[in-house]
Amino acid sequence: MRRLTRYEYNNTLRDLLGVQLDFAENLPPESVSADGFQNNGSVLGISPIQIEYYLKAARMALGKAIVTGPRPEVFKHHAIKSEKIRRVKGPVSSRLGPDSRFIVRLMKFPREGEVVVRVRAHAVVPPGAGVPRMRIGMGVRADVRAPEKTLAEVDVANSATRTFTFRGRIESFPLPGHNPKYPGLQVTVYNAYEDGRPKTRKKKKKKKKKAPVEPDPTQPLLVIESVDFEGPVFDAWPPVTHTRIFFPTSGQPTERQYAGKILSRFMTRAYRRPVGEDELAGSLALYDKLRTGSPSFEIAIRDVLSLVLVSPQFLYLVEPRNGSASRQPLDNFELASRLSYFLWSTMPDDRLFQLAGKGRLTDQAVRQAQVRRMLKDPRARQFANHFADQWLDLPALDRVAVNPEFHPTFDDRLKRDMRDETRHFFAEILNADLSALNLLKSDFAMLNRRLAGHYGVPLPSGGDMQRVKLSEGSHRGGLLTQGSFLLSNSNGEDSHPIKRAVWVLDRLLDDPPAPPPPDVPDLDPSRPTWPSCH
């Protein structure tokens, strides 16, 4: 029995409620075990202050899933011409080269809910060039260096105009606060094409106003015909997140009978097993108590469900026992949870629940078939990402600040690509069932155009991470030449051989160096051979 990690908790809330938001963002950080992993039960304790955070997160999540008022106002905006905003440096246009953008500013927009951005666009690709890559940024510029998050990024290969549709929760993006310096929400379309040439950051000087610069004819153009914004959007009303909890029922049950059905169904999903009669009776008794002072049936149910979501039966991977100290086989529902939290880092899906309910997961052939199905599911990438992050200590990338005086072409996007390279590399070895020796030496790498240009290898066709065959004799195969390893074990200016050696011993060989013996004397720092390493 162990507590869910932050990412398992957030994934479980997402799949239970159908709301795509990071509800674990404000939870206390996790402890890390001696082997570097977060899902070790010995370090997953819980405290009263954590329970308060969990209750707050549960109420917020249920508040997003359940609607209690009328359908909210929908805001729409249509733009066929880019705005020129004085504080935004660089050219704006409808014909985007790699250095220009299309800007839409909205003075009226929703504060919560799902929004849609539709872009009508096509590509103009010169001979020998790659296809343009469209990136949609959304957020508000609160200062000179604006916070903005990426809504989507996609290659555009079509020469005829087509509509690209992107959806996201607006709460996930930086929004203006009260009486902001720069009011309004900004949606920006970029041509994020990479030609493989390093882009040096230069100090900008004030220049006289000049005529607009024409796009480079050797670079692919992203031609924007229009950008539409709409939100909040609902495929139905009440939304699916609401009807998933307040589902239609046959007959005409009383309010309390309907509450019992809602609680039974929700608790079964939340606890990842059939709910017991005593458990259901306790929740119904709480509902009876809350309903008398609640303004509506929905609010009373919401308050009960928020307490379900702070129950140990939800927060922990519980495997009930009869008190015997002997080893006991897992039942079908426990097997379903073991499989889903191992391979998906989230709760079982409907298929696993169905098989568990029929008692079929104890059949080895059925279990093997489910493992194969689960590994093909996109959710398996969650396991690959978290395992690679924790095993290889990829968060160390964020602890290294790269000095632009030493590396003027380096930026945050390149750092993100280095992390993604290692994640995709591990996932490729896992999904293709390759030898673990590829971790040390491989004839392929996982690259996009930006990272390939940084490494000086032939550019792949698109902007997404993809498997690239390396030339014979290339030293780019394996983990030890990847940017994530080299950068995270540096000081941001130069390499650090000692850090790299410790990382190899610890993470790859499981033989970390022993602590130094006591009372080691200081060494003379003036010796000429030492500063290069120390």
**Where does a domain end: 387, 404, 437?**
387
Does residue 148 register a pLDDT over 90?
no
d(CA 328, CA 296): 45
At 533 the pLDDT is: 58
3-state helix, strand, coil in the chain (%, to 5): 35, 15, 50
| pLDDT (mean) for 266-288 | 96
Please provide the average confidence, as pLDDT, over all residues in the chain: 89
Does residue 202 register a pLDDT over 60?
no
Is residue 141 within 8 Å of residue 88, measured between CB atoms?
Answer: yes
Q: Decide if 24 is inside a domain.
A: no
Q: Are residues 189 and 332 in the same domain?
A: no
Q: Are residues 469 and 429 in the same domain?
A: yes
Is residue 404 within 8 Å of residue 367, measured between CB atoms?
Answer: no
Q: List C-alpha distances in Å: 270 to 8, 31, 64, 239, 305.
A: 13, 25, 17, 20, 10
**78 beta partners:** 228
- Between these two residues, 534 and 295, which has the higher pLDDT value? 295
**Residue 96 per-residue DSSP state:** E
- Between these two residues, 404 and 434, which has the higher pLDDT value? 434
| pLDDT (mean) for 504-516 | 90
At 242 the pLDDT is: 97
Q: Decide if 39 is inside a domain.
A: no
Note down the domain range covering 91: 75-197+218-231
d(CA 139, CA 187): 7
Is residue 466 within 8 Å of residue 420, measured between CB atoms?
Answer: no
Q: Decide if 533 is inside a domain.
A: no
At 166 the pLDDT is: 98
Q: Decide if 296 is inside a domain.
A: no
Domain CATH for 180: 2.60.120.260
| pLDDT (mean) for 487-516 | 91
d(CA 382, CA 341): 10
Task: Name the CA dihedral angle for 284, 288, 293, 299, rounded to a multiple of 10 degrees.
Answer: 30
Q: Are residues 456 and 346 in the same domain?
A: no
> What is the token pair recorded at 119?
């872009």
Q: Are residues 364 and 418 in the same domain?
A: no
**Among 81-85, 227-231, 433-437, 448-452, which is the least confidently predicted range?**
81-85
> How do beta strands 2-3 and 185-191 pair?
unpaired
| pLDDT (mean) for 39-57 | 91
> What is the token pair recorded at 268?
């079964």
**Residue 504 per-residue DSSP state:** I
Q: Please give the model's pTM, rounded to 2 decimal places.
A: 0.88
Does residue 217 register a pLDDT over 70?
yes
Q: Decide if 299 is inside a domain.
A: no
Q: Decide if 534 is inside a domain.
A: no
At 407 the pLDDT is: 87
At 94 the pLDDT is: 87
Mutual angle of helices 380-391 and 412-431, in 10-degree steps: 110
Does residue 385 register a pLDDT over 90?
yes
CB within 8 Å of 532: residues ≥ 6 apart: none
Q: List C-alpha distances in Å: 78 to 8, 57, 84, 147, 169.
A: 39, 35, 16, 23, 19
d(CA 153, CA 462): 11
d(CA 221, CA 216): 9
Q: Decide if 95 is inside a domain.
A: yes
d(CA 376, CA 383): 12
**Residue 505 per-residue DSSP state:** I
Q: List C-alpha distances in Å: 493 to 15, 421, 486, 488, 501.
A: 43, 21, 11, 11, 18
Q: Identify which of 107, 71, 103, 105 has the alpha carbon closest to the alpha carbon of residue 232.
A: 71
Residue with tokens 């964020």: 398
- Proportion of the chain above pLDDT 90, given as a percent: 67
Q: Are residues 456 and 497 in the same domain?
A: yes
At 87 the pLDDT is: 53
**Where does a domain end: 333, 365, 387?**
387
d(CA 260, CA 283): 9
Q: Are residues 362 and 463 in the same domain?
A: no
Q: Are residues 429 and 401 in the same domain?
A: yes
**Where does a domain end: 360, 387, 414?**
387
Does residue 502 register a pLDDT over 60?
yes
What are the φ and ψ backbone dihedral angles of 223, each rounded to 5 degrees? -100, 120
- Between these two residues, 178 and 402, which has the higher pLDDT value? 402
At 136 the pLDDT is: 96
Q: Identify which of 72, 222, 250, 228 has the alpha carbon closest to the alpha carbon of residue 156.
A: 222
Q: Are residues 227 and 96 in the same domain?
A: yes
At 440 the pLDDT is: 95
270 residue type, one letter: A
d(CA 341, CA 349): 11
3-state DSSP of 277-344: HHHHHHHHHHHHHHHCCCCCHHHHHHHHHHHHCCCHHHHEECCCCCCCCCCCCCCHHHHHHHHHHHHC
Does residue 144 register a pLDDT over 50?
no
**Among 10-14, 43-47, 90-94, which is the least confidently predicted range?**
90-94
Q: Decide if 499 is inside a domain.
A: yes
What are the φ and ψ backbone dihedral angles of 163, each rounded to 5 degrees? -100, 125
User: What is the band of 519 on the pLDDT scale with cuts at 50, 70, 90?
Assistant: confident
Is residue 227 within 8 Å of residue 104, measured between CB atoms?
Answer: yes
Q: Are residues 501 and 361 in the same domain?
A: no
Does residue 505 register a pLDDT over 50?
yes
What are the φ and ψ backbone dihedral angles of 395, each rounded to 5 degrees? -60, -15
Q: Are residues 420 and 383 in the same domain?
A: no
Q: Are residues 368 and 490 in the same domain?
A: no
At 328 the pLDDT is: 82
Q: Are residues 382 and 424 in the same domain?
A: no
How many domains, the chain? 3
d(CA 298, CA 245): 10
